[in-house]
Structure 1
């Protein structure tokens, strides 16, 4: 493969500047170290106070899919991620639907963080209206992405470091509070992993499905394949590193929070449960810092989510699944898909002002898990059947387990998720049918 992937029409190309560290941080930034803050209250009620166990199960489950992304990135180190892997590994048309579904996921990540960040910022500074905070957050995220991935990588590095420091401070403060007699009164307890009389298979499945929400985003690393210095080697490694690192951060946060506040039924508000924990453990200083970390997460996840969706559109445009001239346009100076980024900015602002946060979270799981299933299936079809690779564990058993786990969790999503999710797929079906003249014309595949 040539050192840089070029735009066939203009000679422009995405810059190869991202190393393993940048890619791993990019994935962690998308997931955000403080992700438990978004779901802790409701998830604790669902899991009977064993969210730490649910996070552990979800991490193991996601590792199978992370490995599959790594396999496909090694074979096809191009922008487009889920879309490209399914298209090249299985079928042109299924690839479109995989991309269409995962696009829903990437679009919704900025919405969630824009909404959450603006809500908390507005609560902290009520003199500034909610919609103004949405515009500020969206504006900063868009400018960073338009300037280029090097700036985005450096920005994410700084913000993730700050968030990580606050999360570590939260963990230490909670530990000191427990040792001082708060909550369980001991740092060694099985309760965050098993609650007698409450924990069962159904509870674990429901909890793991919720916990998967926090992991959605590690796959975004693969959309940066054409900007990675060593994509075949680093993409898969970065996905696994991000998945493990993020998972361990989630598990420890859930563990210490449960020890500080054992009775998960007594939170004043499920939406701000971890802030109540922070307040109890470390007073207003700790709760204030935790609020600040949540606001920072809107920038890291927003930058990564917007960037990933823009590059997914770039890949689909290059294959002429979307109008090529528009979606493959790169800024002459920054070499970024600036028009796609601006589209994502407009969608993010509109969605933040019009949509409900709960619905957005549910729909993310629909698109994300659907895309994960397609990638796991792509490994089996491409490597085991087409390439005749006979490493049964690597190319059949592991991706099959990834597919089965994602499918099982996908089946346990809410009815509303399926109604809206399949409506989205129906729109994609109509678009694909028209653009391929009744599926008689195969979408073009970009050749390296």
Structure 2
């Protein structure tokens, strides 16, 4: 069938979508939080990842339900707009936009920092430009190239993670750490583990899963969106969760004293150094740098397609935000905007604030999607599958809400300031809320 002008290409299969979600989360994600999270959980980060994976599966199921009903670009924005209310949909999209914008920004900062440490002759800002440039070119050329690039990079990262797990296991069997591979210690620490510790650890671990929802922004480029989007979201959650749990498990066995790291920020590199020497720690550093490309590609692409969906519904200037490259059929202007935001933010913003804001937007969006399932299916469509359309999304909403209200004060100040800006934008585009935002129908 001939590709129509103004439409995104349907080329992504289930495998591509699942890898896209895992790439956004990155298989190496425990490297970013291991030291601090181990201290919070008393050395039971593996259990925290189990809790987080279960929690995120509720929301992944909700994304699957909404993707089946509305297989269009826009993800959280589109689902809330159609499932509940067009105005609330705008706010959901405006909030989740922070998440999609800041994920590549965070990995640009991290990747450039590690690359600069490895090759200090090239300054930090130059590494930011290099990483951003590669990510932007890949996304401009199209999702097929992005999917192939992600497949390759995720495979390399996955191989390094497997090597890390094997090296740690060999070290343990050789007498290091616990001295045994069968232990409940990474899941339960007597005298430390309790409900509050599990909740706190689960909250930290949940942030490694932020990004699986990016799969749904590719609905109009999926070959079978109604069938594959939901399945891919669940597969990405489970696949990512298993990878995270295994890394946390073997690292805890290999290095039981989680209080003895020289730096909490580089704890897993110290574990890799101890278990596998300079080669393993070097490979792990290389994997972190690779993760900046996979998460950067997925994050930039998702934000660009969210803007495409909002532009098509005319809540953002339509002509500009829905422009597709005549050859590659990608929203090139949106991608270039994301590149500029990523570069400027990487050079000016504080990492801690960026992380908090990402959590603010992501969890707010998750709550909206869970609520959308209940409102649309259970109340509006009168579907009486209580488990699927009430209990599961209800649990997802409550869990995400609990994590959301536990964020810092500064994240709420900046986050609500961002929502206020969105309120002004929506007031202008809807002529003082007198006109509902338009809804695109396929």
Task: Determine which of 232, 237, 240 is the counterpart of 1:238.
Answer: 232
Secondary structure of 1:126 counterpart: coil
User: Hey, what does 2:274 align to over in structure 1?
Assistant: 280
Once the 2 structures are TM-superposed, how far is the Cα of residue 4 of structure 1 from its aligned partner? Answer: 8.9
User: Hey, what does 2:111 align to over in structure 1?
Assistant: 117
CA contact (8 A) 1:213 1:361 kept: no
Residue ranges of structure 2 left out of the alignment (5+ in a row): none
User: Hey, what does 2:246 align to over in structure 1?
Assistant: 252
Once the 2 structures are TM-superposed, how far is the Cα of residue 219 of structure 1 from its aligned partner? Answer: 0.3
CA contact (8 A) 1:328 1:337 kept: yes
User: Hey, what does 2:430 align to over in structure 1?
Assistant: 436
User: Hey, what does 2:171 align to over in structure 1?
Assistant: 177
Instruction: From the superposition, tell whether residues 400 and 260 of structure 1 become closer, same or farther in structure 2 (CA, over 3 Å).
Output: same
User: Hey, what does 1:269 align to over in structure 2?
Assistant: 263
TM-score relative to the length of structure 2: 0.99
Q: Find the aligned partners of 2:270 and 2:353 in 1 and give their Cα distance.
A: 24
Once the 2 structures are TM-superposed, how far is the Cα of residue 434 of structure 1 from its aligned partner? Answer: 2.1
User: Counterparts in 2 of 1:93-112, with a 5 A limit?
Assistant: 93-112=87-106
Greater mean alpha carbon deviation, residues 433-442 or residues 366-375: 433-442
Q: Find the aligned partners of 1:426 and 1:200 in 2 and give their Cα distance.
A: 39
Instruction: After superposition, give the CA deviation of every residue in 1:227-271 in whole Å (9 maximum; x if it has no partner).
Output: 000000000000000000000100010011111111111111111
How large is the RMSD of aligned CA atoms in angstroms? 1.0
Residue 371, structure 1, aligned to residue 362, structure 2 = no
Secondary structure of 1:214 counterpart: coil
Once the 2 structures are TM-superposed, how far is the Cα of residue 297 of structure 1 from its aligned partner? Answer: 0.3
User: Counterparts in 2 of 1:125-144, with a 5 A limit?
Assistant: 125-144=119-138
CA contact (8 A) 1:15 1:335 kept: yes
User: Hey, what does 1:350 align to over in structure 2?
Assistant: 344
TM-score relative to the length of structure 1: 0.97
Residue 360, structure 1, aligned to residue 364, structure 2 = no
Instruction: After superposition, give the CA deviation of every residue in 1:187-233 in whole Å (9 maximum; x if it has no partner).
Output: 11111111111111111111111111100000000000000000000
Secondary structure of 2:237 counterpart: helix
User: Hey, what does 1:229 align to over in structure 2?
Assistant: 223
Task: Determine which of 401, 410, 431 is the counterpart of 1:416.
Answer: 410
CA contact (8 A) 1:5 1:226 kept: no
Secondary structure of 2:208 counterpart: helix
Instruction: From the superposition, tell whether residues 381 and 118 of structure 1 become closer, same or farther in structure 2 (CA, over 3 Å).
Output: same
Task: Determine which of 20, 28, 33 is the counterpart of 2:14.
Answer: 20
CA contact (8 A) 1:4 1:14 kept: no
Greater mean alpha carbon deviation, residues 196-205 or residues 241-250: 196-205
User: Hey, what does 1:212 align to over in structure 2?
Assistant: 206
Instruction: From the superposition, tell whether residues 4 and 230 of structure 1 become closer, same or farther in structure 2 (CA, over 3 Å).
Output: farther
Secondary structure of 2:232 counterpart: helix
Secondary structure of 1:267 counterpart: coil
CA contact (8 A) 1:4 1:16 kept: no
Q: Find the aligned partners of 1:174 and 1:278 in 2 and give their Cα distance.
A: 7
Secondary structure of 2:97 counterpart: helix
User: Hey, what does 2:46 align to over in structure 1?
Assistant: 52
User: Hey, what does 2:398 align to over in structure 1?
Assistant: 404
Q: Find the aligned partners of 1:151 and 1:231 in 2 and give their Cα distance.
A: 19
Instruction: From the superposition, tell whether residues 39 and 173 of structure 1 become closer, same or farther in structure 2 (CA, over 3 Å).
Output: same
CA contact (8 A) 1:77 1:232 kept: yes
Residue 70, structure 1, aligned to residue 61, structure 2 = no
Secondary structure of 1:215 counterpart: coil
Superposition misfits of 4+ residues, deviation over 4 angstroms = 3-6
Instruction: From the superposition, tell whether residues 267 and 168 of structure 1 become closer, same or farther in structure 2 (CA, over 3 Å).
Output: same
CA contact (8 A) 1:206 1:412 kept: no
